[in-house]
Amino acid sequence: MILYIIIPISYWTNSYNAKRFPIFSSHVFDANGKPYDVSTVLNETTFEFNRAGYDGYSKVNLSIFFVYTYGLSFAILAATLTHVALFHGREIWYQTKETLKDKYADVHTRIMKRNYEAVPQWWFHIILIVVTGLALLTCEGFGRQLQLPYWGVLLAIGLAFIFTLPIGVITATTNQQPGLNVITELIIGYMYPGRPLANITFKTYGYISMSQAIMFLSDFKLGHYMKIPPKSMFVVQLVGTVIASSVYFGTAWWLLTSVENICNPSRLPEGSPWTCPGDDVFYNASIIWGVVGPMRMFGRLGLYSKMNYFFLIGLLAPVPVWILSRMFPEKKWIKLINVPIIIGGTGGMPSARAVNYMCWFAVGIFFNFVVYKRYRGWWVRHNYILSAGLDAGVAFLAILLYFTLQIKDINGPTWWGLELSDHCPLATCPTAPGFQVEGCPVFH
């Protein structure tokens, strides 16, 4: 509905001057439809917002695709809080009280307590103190290059603590995890504007900390059901985190120093995989929320203040579903309507586009509808293994292709599937009359 109805209608009615910019883009633009010159609005010495340069240049403009992406992100967070409070609030309150009394224990918990020692709480406390201290040192030390003060680190940790429970409930019941990326950018953007590095650092500590906590809990839950000793699970998680983060950092450093023009699609050879679409979104978000700030984007000084209504839409959207579930308790399917997940289906945008959603839709419909209906036994036994296999297959193939072909600058045959344009001129060019952008036709 968003991709094929709302965005096309908004584009052709020229909402927010949509025709001046590509219809699908995660980049930022000036008022003339050209890529935004960040150096004009950024002080090269302090790496902070240059008010004089901004006033003499242009407001930041977004594609209509990117505008609705942020509006929906606002709605997702609000809908998550309402949904969890309405559908799970009483259960959470009851289980919390029982847990504090040490009375809540299902059969798995009783078996684990009877056979294994629990992980001492002080283990968690020590890790919390150590990593918080390292985070404070990283931000306050080294000449404060990351721009984020100590209170920003503590606030980010507090946000992660608050949102772990409601988002954990959504993750546990749907296997989908709404993110805190936009709300963290919004909060620090208002509190500490004009500092892009502070913004992305705060987002990382707030959003990724919560995400990692939920993944940690998920793995503990799996070990709980498989009856793996809790202390062993804890040690494996800790060691795995250290190894994985070290390998990830080393790999990123190696790629950045060895792949020429990495993350610069205009200078990369055709078919090159090193376009970094996710990192491109991260960079442009730092301009929107960190350099210019939410006040000049979504506040009273911005072009997109009406997007704030999506907070209200998200807050109210789960209420009718909850009311219907109370009015018709015999209709069990009503409780299965999860508004945050319905809205959050757009969470991959950008960098995902319509073609990505069509592939996901086709695979999902085939295996979870056709195969489920006709071959239920096969579905029960193999469907989730197949899902894991598809994910693992992509990862292994990426490694294989790199070390066998791409390391030798062989990026595959020239065919339509490797082209970045998606064969849609609207995705790269404006259609507003008289606008001249390099590589695009001029409409009159």
pLDDT digits (tens, 9 = 90+) for 117-126: 888 999 999 9
Number of domains in the chain: 2
Whether residue 439 lies inside any domain: the answer is: no
Average pLDDT rounded to a whole number, residues 406-423:
69
CA distance 183 to 68: 15
One-letter identity of residue 92: I
Task: Please indicate, yes or no, if residue 432 is contained in any of the structural domains.
Answer: no
> How far, rounded to the nearest angstrom, does the alpha carbon of residue 392 sit from its chain's CA centroid?
21
Among 80, 291, 301, 59, smallest CA distance to 188 is for 291
- For residue 101, tell me if it sits in a domain: yes
Same domain, 89 and 230: yes
> Does residue 247 sit in the same domain as residue 125?
yes
369 and 343 assigned to the same domain: no
Q: Which long-range contacts (CB under 8 A, 24 or more apart) does 158-162 make?
A: 159/183, 159/184, 159/187, 159/206, 159/210, 160/205, 160/206, 160/207, 160/209, 160/210, 160/213
Q: How far apart are CA 17 and CA 2, in angstroms?
A: 18
435 within a domain of the structure (yes/no): no
Q: How far apart are CA 79 and CA 71, in angstroms?
A: 12
* Residue 62 pLDDT greater than 70, yes or no: yes
**pLDDT surpasses 80 at 351:** no
The pLDDT value recorded for residue 443 is: 83
Q: What is the pLDDT of residue 422?
A: 61
pLDDT of residue 148: 94
Q: Is residue 436 part of a domain?
A: no
Does position 102 have pLDDT exceeding 70, yes or no?
Answer: no
Q: Determine the pLDDT at residue 174.
A: 82
Domain-embedded: residue 434: no
The token pair that represents 119 in the structure block: 């992980």
Regarding whether 153 and 70 lie in a shared domain, the answer is yes
Looking at the fold, whether 251 and 372 belong to one and the same domain comes out as no
User: pLDDT value at position 364?
Assistant: 87
Same domain, 374 and 274: no
**Cβ atoms 57, 32 nearer than 8 A:** no
Check whether 214 has a pLDDT greater than 90: yes
The predicted structure's pLDDT at residue 15: 93
- Asked whether residue 381 falls in the same domain as residue 343, the answer is no
| Residues 311 and 408 both lie in one domain | no
Same domain, 112 and 35: yes
pLDDT tens for 139-189 read: 999 888 999 999 999 999 999 999 998 888 888 888 888 888 899 999 999
pTM of the prediction? 0.86
Q: What is the mean pLDDT of the chain?
A: 88
Q: Is position 437 within any domain? A: no
Beta bridge partners of 29: 35, 61
Q: Give backbone dihedrals phi and psi of 29, rounded to 5 degrees, phi first.
A: -135, 160
What token pair was written down for 294?
A: 């939410």
Phi then psi dihedrals of residue 58, to 5 deg: -165, 150
Residue 128: the pLDDT is 93
Residues 271 and 219 in one domain: yes
85-94, 135-144, 369-378: least confidently modelled range: 85-94
Q: Determine the pLDDT at residue 341.
A: 87
pLDDT value of residue 360: 81
**pLDDT tens across 233-273, in order?**
999 999 999 999 999 899 889 888 988 888 888 788 776 77
Q: What is the C-alpha separation between 183 and 295, in angstroms, rounded?
A: 14
In percent, the amount of the chain with pLDDT more than 70 equals 95
Same domain assignment for residues 299 and 367: no
pLDDT of 319 reads 96
**Helix or strand or coil: residue 42?**
strand
Inter-CA distances, 215 with 99, 175, 209, 241, Å = 21, 11, 10, 11
Nearest to 148 by CA among 184, 192, 185, 211: 192
Question: What was the pLDDT predicted at 199?
Answer: 95
Residue 440 lies in a domain: no
Non-local CB neighbours of 308 within 8 Å, separated by 6+ positions:
74, 298
Domain that holds residue 398: 363-413
- Same domain, residue pair 273 and 380: no
Q: Could you tell me which of 96, 119, 103 has the C-alpha nearest to residue 165?
A: 96
pLDDT tens readout for residues 300-345: 888 999 999 999 999 999 999 999 999 999 998 998 899 988 888 7
Beta strands in 179-293 (DSSP E): none
Q: Mean pLDDT across the stretch 433-437?
A: 83
pLDDT at 115: 86
pLDDT more than 90, % of the chain: 48
SS3 49: strand
Q: Residue 384: what pLDDT?
A: 84
The pLDDT of 353-361, averaged and rounded, is 78
